[in-house]
Amino acid sequence: MSNFTSPKAATVSIFGSTGSIGRQALDVIRDSADPPQVHALSANSNFEALCVQIGEFRPKVVVVGSLAMAHQVSERFAWLECRVGAEGLSQSAGEAEIALNAVVGFAGLSVTMGAVRAGRRLALANKESLVAAGPVVRKAMENSRAEIVPVDSEHAAIHQCLRAGRVTEVERLILTSSGGPFRTMSIEALSKVTKADALRHPTWAMGPKITVDSSTLMNKALEIIEAVELFSVRPDQVEVVVHPESIVHSMVGFVDGSLLAQLSQPDMRLPIAYALGYPQRLAPAYGALDFAEELALHFEAPRREIFRGLDFAYGALEVGRGAPAWLNAINEVAVTNFLEDRINWGDIYPVIAESLELFMPVDLNSAQDVMDLDQIARVRCLEVIDKKFASPR
């Protein structure tokens, strides 16, 4: 999604600044020879980490998750404007030239909509907001100068490859997946995996939600939907291939048979820097490869009979009318209940499958429509879990 044309931004807001992507974004700013000014930071509940960041980067605004935390911040930094919740996120997202959305989960919708409505550049690391609200975001961008530059490594790779050709020349987009920690496990072994196992990703250091999504490949399912929304391609043009080395971050195949790929060592600072500096490229070189060293690349098909989320994603895109939003919401509920030890890893897909059967199609014309559907989906998923697992496991 791209309507935006402007010189290098002078101001940036980092939403979810105490999380993995937010912290690495601040690393990029530290490393920059001509760093942008940090206008706003946000954190839901990590008060001490946020205070350290405020002291270093001196933003004009912070957004926090509760009034109690806002009072704490204001007591320590009397000069700082402190805002709260979704309204604070939406307002703040429209103020700097770049809004980096690294908020976890559906809560990031406020940042996405705030930045798009204000015509800002949205550096998007929060795939859930675009997955859930794609039709609403597209509508908001029709008369906006906003631009979305993806931060997810896969979509950032595709964005870079597409600079070599037009979308009309694209035959296929190939999303690569590490395969997660359970790539080669048997069905019997998968029945015994623990939360600690699921949180031990073989390649990337990420937050718990996305790490669990990587273990089920639901992150890749959501990325299929995100790719359709970002790049205006058909669902059948998006493929997934497992690539355990995580060196090839994704590929674009063109109608003439050319295949372009973006390669680097796995380092999220590279796509973050790309989104902040676009259309320029910023030094230093994150994730640079040394071809004097041995390098082997392997690819294989995902085991879709086990990792069913890929088919759920294609099904949701086919159904439309809010099905991607429903899928995103019930996955978030299932993952939360897994992290809270209420269900096992092997229960996540059965919970999602049963909750999908309760889908209620609607036309999404506004962000409120998306939020309403999201809430209904969460209630239905919790009802499924309550029915299947009446007592803690």
CB 99 within 8 A of CB 121: yes
pLDDT score of 4: 39
171: amino acid identity, one letter: E
End-to-end CA distance of the chain: 44
Instruction: Please tell me the distance from the alpha carbon of residue 98 to that of residue 130, in angstroms, as a whole number.
Output: 17
pLDDT score of 393: 47
Residues pairing with 177 in the sheet:
242
Alpha-carbon torsion angle 287, 290, 294, 299, nearest 10: 40
Instruction: Please tell me the distance from the alpha carbon of residue 209 to that of residue 342, in angstroms, as a whole number.
Output: 15
Q: Among 3.40.30.10, 1.10.1740.10, 3.40.50.2000, 3.40.50.300, what is the CATH number of 320-393?
A: 1.10.1740.10
Is the torsion defined by CA of 368, 208, 178, 217 positive or negative? negative
Interhelix angle 323-339/218-231, rounded to 10 degrees, is 150
Domain extents for the chain?
A: 11-151, 153-265+289-305, 320-393
Low-confidence ranges of the chain (pLDDT < 70): 1-9, 204-205, 391-393
Q: Is the peptide bond before 35 cis (omega within 30 degrees of 0)?
A: no
pLDDT score of 7: 41
Is the pTM higher than 0.75? The answer reads yes
Would you mind telling me the total number of residues written for the chain in this entry?
393
CB 108 within 8 A of CB 126: yes
Neighbour-count burial of 192, counting CB atoms closer than 10 A to its CB (0-12 exposed, 13-18 middle, 19+ buried): exposed
Q: How far is CA 160 from the centre of its chain?
A: 17
The DSSP letter of residue 300 is: B
In 3D space, the residue among 266, 263, 176, 268 whose CA is nearest the CA of residue 224 turns out to be 176
Instruction: Please tell me the distance from the alpha carbon of residue 276 to that of residue 35, in angstroms, as a whole number.
Output: 10
pLDDT score of 1: 58
pLDDT score of 5: 40
- Per the structure block, which two tokens stand in for 211? 């790490």
- CATH superfamily membership of 11-151: NAD(P)-binding Rossmann-like Domain (3.40.50.720)
Within 8 A by CB and 6+ apart from 373, the residues are 322, 325, 326, 329, 360, 362, 364
pLDDT score of 200: 86
Phi-psi region of 287 (alpha: psi -120 to 50; beta: other; left: phi over 0): left
CB 312 within 8 A of CB 331: no
Phi, psi of 129 (to 5 degrees): -65, -40
On the CB side of 82, CA atoms within 13 Å amount to 23
CB burial string 97-124: b at 16+ within 10 A, e below: bbbbbbbbbbbbbbbbbbbbbbbbbbbb
Instruction: Please tell me the distance from the alpha carbon of residue 332 to that of residue 379, in angstroms, as a whole number.
Output: 12
